[in-house]
């Protein structure tokens, strides 16, 4: 009887510690894609509980290989999130994959990213791309704190831009994965 009581107490204590250490939950109320590079129904944004997964169809930039020509294309993911009291919400890093082609051997093809929210303009990251398939990690991140207020609704945005200024060049972004994590405030 005493052993059973001690085991039950130990189990309850471990469960309380595990629950206290689990990260706080937040909710994603909406995800939207907008911009010249992500029009059409084949572009998707999905939150799987740990990542925002984006797939693109036709997100490309080229001054002469697209109809109509588009030397710069951009796509902005907008997410409305609810952050509970006592929560730090971190977005980033982002994994990106696509392809680049050009006639010349030293092309000036660029992929730029910016993660931001109201009052926090974020930081522009720019990557020079070489010809061929690319996979890269954008280390940019953004942490939002809601340590003392009631649950807060925040609008967060991630912009991806493709730049292909020279004739014969084409750059395409096929997919992106934006990591999302939470922690408790201090």
**Mean pLDDT along residues 36-64:** 91
- Per-residue pLDDT of 71-111, as tens digits, reads 999 999 999 999 999 999 999 999 999 999 988 777 789 99
**Mean pLDDT along residues 131-141:** 92
Residue 40, pLDDT above cutoff 80: no
Match domain 23-184 to its CATH number in 3.30.70, 2.60.120, 2.20.130, 2.60.40: 2.60.120
More confident residue, 41 or 15: 41
Q: Work out the pLDDT band at 149, boundaries 50, 70, 90.
A: confident
Contact 179, 94 (CB under 8 A): yes
Q: Work out the pLDDT band at 52, boundaries 50, 70, 90.
A: very high
Which of the residue ranges 11-15, 82-86, 131-135 would you say has the lowest mean pLDDT?
Answer: 11-15
Which pLDDT score is estimated for 26? 85
pTM of the model: 0.82
Residue 148, pLDDT above cutoff 80: yes
The tokens describing 97, both together, are: 């994959």
Which positions ≥6 away from 85 have C-beta within 8 Å?
146, 147, 148, 149, 150, 151
- Taking the C-alpha atoms of residue 26 and residue 156, their distance in angstroms, rounded to an integer, is 14
- Per-residue pLDDT of 169-180, as tens digits, reads 999 999 999 999
More confident residue, 72 or 1: 72
Residue 1, pLDDT above cutoff 70: no
Which pLDDT score is estimated for 23? 56
More confident residue, 110 or 10: 110
Question: What phi and psi values does residue 56 have, to the nearest 5 degrees?
Answer: -120, 145
* Chain center to CA of 87: 19
């Amino acid at each position: 009887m005493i052993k059973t009581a001690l085991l039950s107490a130990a189990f309850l204590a471990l469960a309380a510690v595990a629950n206290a250490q689990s990260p706080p939950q937040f909710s994603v109320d909406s995800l939207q894609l907008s911009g010249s590079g992500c029009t059409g129904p084949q572009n998707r944004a999905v939150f799987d509980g740990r990542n925002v997964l984006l797939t693109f169809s036709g997100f490309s930039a080229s001054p002469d290989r697209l109809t109509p020509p588009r030397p710069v294309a951009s796509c902005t993911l907008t997410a409305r999130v609810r952050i509970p009291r006592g929560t730090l919400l971190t977005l980033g890093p982002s994994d990106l994959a696509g392809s680049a082609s050009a006639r010349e051997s030293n092309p000036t093809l660029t992929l730029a990213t910016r993660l931001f929210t109201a009052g926090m303009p974020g930081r522009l990251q720019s990557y020079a791309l070489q010809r061929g398939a690319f996979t890269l990690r954008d280390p940019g991140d953004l942490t939002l704190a809601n340590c003392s207020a009631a649950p807060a609704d925040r609008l967060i945005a991630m912009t991806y831009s493709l730049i292909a200024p020279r004739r014969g060049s084409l750059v395409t972004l096929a997919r992106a994965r934006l990591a999302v994590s939470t922690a408790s405030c201090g």
